[in-house]
Amino acid sequence: MYTLFRSVPISNLLAMQAPALLASFIISEVFYKFHSFTLETLAFLATWFVIDAVLSVGRNLLLGTKAAPNA
């Protein structure tokens, strides 16, 4: 997490992750009632990952860009 905050400017981080974070938070608050902090946290993180992946693919298709390969 520390590396993420250090490597990406905060404005880019907020612009890219805020929609996915907010949607994931709402979904987890409404639907996830596992009565276990660990399970709910893992479900929230998985939801955030999936929503972020869908938004990233959609953004790339819409803008016609491709993700940069890992170096």
Is residue 35 a part of any domain in this protein?
yes
Tell whether 2 is covered by a domain.
Answer: no
19 in any annotated domain: no
Q: How far apart are CA 32 and CA 35, in angstroms?
A: 9
Tokens of 25: 């938070």
User: Does the pLDDT at position 70 exceed 80?
Assistant: no
What domain count does the chain have?
A: 1
Based on its alpha-carbon atoms, the radius of gyration of the chain, rounded to whole angstroms, reads 14
Residue 34 lies in a domain: yes
Residue 7 maps to a domain: no
- Residue 51's domain comprises 24-57
pTM here is 0.79
What does the pLDDT look like over 16-69, one tens digit per residue?
A: 889 999 999 999 999 999 999 999 999 999 999 999 999 999 988 998 866 555
The owner of tokens 């693919």 is 57
The model's confidence at residue 71, banded by pLDDT at 50, 70 and 90, is very low
